[in-house]
């Protein structure tokens, strides 16, 4: 699977939907949005723009393509996923502390973050998508960002700030989670009150705190799996 191309394909799906003629789509594809997307995906596979991934059949991959099109059109969720994926690629790389590969640790982290985001109402599943679709899409973005060798800012700062409260609450290798969670709740509440953390009307401060505390547990699990002392 050419993982970097799936994100490009997701953007192209929007272009296909927007550019399709009203009566008949180009290349013999149906004009209905979902059918047009499935046609694009089939053509993309045949032209080697992307290859079948995650053990999917062509039919399953086409259905996933429809899900991707729904995700990228749902702006709040799409933007949140891009931000989380960039944070994971920066702060939770697919390597152990000694530099050896550990893709499973990063994959487990992004899967857990998506689960927490859905549970805490940070991420809203668009119609015709599942949590698994959102995990696959997020992982595709993370993999694309893992290989970026350009000059970047540090999008993982959010995760490192949260992890700092875990480090402060750790004594002799044992985390006092009550202390860590209290610190995380306080900083999120203070940031929200000061206007430094602007939450959408659909997300309460309590939900943001729950998500932040879930991220603390996820990053701690990642550090344990990779042998890292800090992010």
Strand partners, 174: 171
pLDDT at 163: 93
CB-based contact 131:115 (threshold 8 Å): yes
Q: How far is CA 213 from CA 123, 139, 148, 199, in A?
A: 16, 22, 29, 16
pLDDT score for 183: 93
Bridge partners, residue 175, by sequence = 170
Alpha-carbon span 123 to 227, nearest angstrom: 30
Q: What is the pLDDT of residue 165?
A: 93
CB 181: neighbour CB atoms within 10 A?
Answer: 19
Residue 15 has what pLDDT?
38
Determine contact, residues 27/43, Cβ cutoff 8 Å: yes
pTM, two decimal places: 0.74
For residue 184, the tally of other CB atoms under 10 A from its CB is 25
| Other CB atoms within 10 Å distance of the CB of residue 69 | 27
Tens digit of pLDDT at every position of the chain (231 positions) = 444 455 545 544 443 343 334 434 445 566 677 888 888 888 878 877 778 888 888 988 888 888 888 888 887 888 899 889 989 998 999 999 999 999 999 999 999 999 999 999 999 998 889 999 999 999 988 988 887 655 445 678 889 989 999 999 999 989 999 999 999 999 999 888 887 778 888 889 999 999 999 999 999 999 999 999 989
């Amino acid at each position: 699977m050419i993982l970097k191309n799936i994100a490009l394909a997701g953007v192209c799906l929007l272009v296909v939907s927007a550019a399709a003629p009203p009566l008949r789509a180009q290349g013999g594809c149906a004009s209905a949005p979902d059918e047009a997307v499935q046609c694009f995906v089939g053509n993309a596979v045949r032209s080697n723009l992307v290859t079948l991934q995650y053990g999917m059949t062509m039919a399953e991959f086409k259905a996933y393509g429809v899900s991707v099109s729904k995700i990228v059109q749902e702006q709040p969720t799409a933007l949140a996923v891009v931000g989380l994926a960039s944070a994971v690629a920066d702060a939770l790389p697919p390597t152990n502390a000694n530099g050896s590969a550990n893709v499973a640790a990063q994959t487990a982290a992004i899967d857990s973050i998506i689960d927490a985001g859905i549970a805490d109402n940070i991420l809203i599943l668009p119609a015709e998508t599942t949590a698994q679709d959102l995990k696959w899409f997020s992982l595709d973005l993370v993999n694309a960002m893992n290989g970026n060798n350009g000059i970047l800012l540090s999008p993982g700062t959010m995760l490192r700030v949260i992890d700092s409260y875990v480090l402060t609450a750790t004594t002799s290798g044992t985390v006092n989670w009550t202390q860590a969670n209290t610190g995380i709740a306080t900083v999120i509440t203070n940031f929200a009150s000061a206007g430094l953390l602007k939450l959408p009307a659909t997300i309460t401060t309590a939900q943001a705190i729950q998500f932040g505390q879930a991220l603390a547990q996820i990053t701690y699990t990642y550090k344990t799996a990779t042998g890292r002392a800090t992010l």
